[in-house]
A and B are shown apart, each in its own frame.
Chain A
Amino acid sequence: MSAAKAPERDASGRGAAFASAVAGEDLAIVEPLIFDRSRPERRAVRFPRASEEARRVGAGQPEIPAALRRETPPRLPEVGELELLRHFNRLAHLNMAIDLNFYPLGSCTMKYNPKVNEWAARLPGLAESHPLDPEELSQGSLEIMWLLAELLGDISGFPAISLQPAAGAHGELTGMLMTRAFHRANGEGEQRTKVLVPDSAHGTNPATATMVGYETVTIRSNERGGIDLGALRGALGPDVAALMITNPSTLGIFEDQIDQVIAAVKDAGAIAYMDGANLNAILGRFRPGEAGFDVMHFNLHKTFSTPHGGGGPGAGPVGVSERLEPYLPAPIPVLVEGDPGEVRANAWRGRSTPGVRFALDADRPHSIGKVRSHHGNFGMFVRAYTYIRSNGDAGLRGISEDAVLAANYLRIRLHDVYDLPYDRLSKHEVVFSGRRQKREHGVTTLDIAKAILDHGIHPPTIYFPLIVEEALMVEPTETETLETLDHFVGVMRDIAEQAASDPESLKRAPVTTPVGRLDEAGAARRPDLRHSFANDDSGARAGAEAAVAASARSGSRTPTT
């Protein structure tokens, strides 16, 4: 495919429209900024004028220094509701999104988010509940949290769960804080200073260990992509606090010596942490708690189909073994009156159980404390609970079966054209290497990823894991049809062919997207994060500069837009 011969994008004809919009341009914005649509006094919503009393209170806020009080209104865009609606709908359709495109972004489990989840989360009794409502008025919400924790316990084999953490890395942090509390309680807090992390782990694992004050020691993988047991045993000792392992790993490989790994860690008196981000591959097949792990986080926004990416927020509950249970964040939803089995059986039949009572148990003297305001991202609990309930036992096993089948299908269909450094049975994802294309034709994995965009597919994760040269990390998930997988195979084979026949055309990709190849290095080196108004005034500038200064203070150096 070349600039002159753009592929059919889809039935909507957007592909053609975009190709003509960018013809001859390096960068063409096809939808103007909302600021450019702004006209004075246009409004989508007109607010009532604030009362005199409210204005007096607002003007007299003594805790806000005079120099920081705004004298002029913020320069918000002024548009009507229809303009607003069209603008954001257009932007949404310029995006690559799971509701529009195949999205095999490895490690992220970008599965379809069933709309029944949204129905449940929008039920007024749940959507309008408030975390500060008294317990007696929140029994339904507490029951859902209790039931979700019970189900996550069943799925993972852990006897206790906290739903509080707001994301996967937050779950990791919670797990490592509990690890530290455990060692301190045993008088080994000073002695255990190291956390072992295999080189095939998620990048957040060493970051988490460092955040909690541990020194990270990297354990190399063996030639099969598993943990090198010799290296692990050599590194374990009385100074090791924990092993953090991503299983299945970022190579999409299940650690088949997991029993020996856990035994070695426990023999050394350390905590065995499992990063559960890749749980999708092992749902209903492997229960980490039963296998001997002490702690694991779940990613509800991966495995349990709550929105991921910009749609979030995430949710990263943690499950723990009995020895870590005392340290769980407080409070925890508990059933204080009633029979757990009866409540669960009734819930499964869609009934509530009369006469039961739920409460939040904050009386946990060894708890590491609260890790999230209120109870966590409750809306995500409702969605994840809905997902688990609508799939049931057999459905959850079907999910892992289909996710693994899809990844292996792609592995088999593509391994002759892309190198496969670890050619083993895959779990949820398969990691190819673009090194052959790079060596033979000078086409990098970045070029391949950009070319994939031209076919209306979100590219896989690239250049990760770091232990695979020119990595292409593909996670198709269970929600795609055979036709979609075959289409992807066709696209990948075409690109491999094009790399040989016309490598220069791949260097120009993408050509059918709203904007072409972006200067990623320039954007990172010299980020331009503020909008410049045509006739700027000092009020707006001061606000923008304050925001830039705040971002500089927080150490941000990459664009976040």
Chain B
Amino acid sequence: MANPDDLRYSKEHEWVRVDGSQATIGITSFAAEELGDIVFIELPEVGATLSQFATFGVVESVKAVSDLYSPVSGEVVEVNEALRDTPELLNADAFGEGWIARVELSDTAELDALMDAAAYADETA
């Protein structure tokens, strides 16, 4: 699936959609496809503090268990509860219904360390 132009991307295959002081984060379609059918996700707690490029959760697919690396720092204000029972949303709609968490950004300057869609497409080519 094409990587949306309005998102920023990390080398660890997470995406960020910035909306004012908050951001929504998730894993890319490329990541979901590489992982295969995802069967479980360990979500962060609301109120948890994330650090950029540090682990904040775990996804388990039929192939492997992998860490999730947060693309930004900040406090978790909401998590996608639907993923607990239907982790397949990560495979079906990674950039939409498969969003993972919403974060109150602590440092918007961090976004400069992320890639745009074109650079991420090169990264995964």
Instruction: List chain A positions with a Cβ less than 8 A from chain B.
Output: 446, 462-464, 466, 520-521, 524-525, 557-558
Contacts and interface: CB of A to CB of B under 8 A. Distances in A.
B39 A463 contact: no
Contacts of B61: 521
B2 interface: no
Contacts of A463: 63-64
B88 A521 contact: yes
B40 interface: yes
B40 A557 contact: yes
Contacts of B39: 521, 524-525, 558
Interface string B38-73: 111000000000000000000011111010000000
Contacts of A557: 40
A431 to B, nearest CB: 15
Contacts of B64: 463-464, 466
Contact of B62 (A464, A466, A524): A524
Contact of B37 (A464, A521, A558): A521
5 closest A-B pairs by beta carbon, nearest first, are A521-B37, A524-B39, A463-B63, A520-B62, A525-B39
B63 A525 contact: no
B66 to A, nearest CB: 8
Contacts of B63: 446, 462-463
A228 B38 CA distance: 32
B40 A521 contact: no
B87 interface: yes
Contacts of B37: 520-521, 524
Interface in B81-124: 87-88
A203 to B, nearest CB: 8
Nearest to B61: A521
Contacts of A521: 36-39, 61-62, 88
A464 B63 CA distance: 8
A557 B40 CA distance: 9
Nearest to A218: B67
B42 to A, nearest CB: 10
Contacts of A462: 63
A236 B36 CA distance: 35
17 contacts: A446-B36, A446-B63, A463-B63, A463-B64, A464-B64, A520-B62, A521-B36, A521-B38, A521-B61, A521-B62, A521-B88, A524-B40, A524-B60, A524-B62, A525-B39, A525-B40, A558-B39
A247 to B, nearest CB: 22
B117 to A, nearest CB: 22
B89 to A, nearest CB: 11
Contacts of B36: 446, 521
Nearest to B91: A521
Given A463-B64, A464-B64, A521-B37, 16 more contacts: A446-B36, A446-B63, A462-B63, A463-B63, A520-B37, A520-B62, A521-B36, A521-B38, A521-B39, A521-B61, A521-B88, A524-B37, A524-B40, A524-B62, A525-B39, A525-B88
Contacts of A558: 39
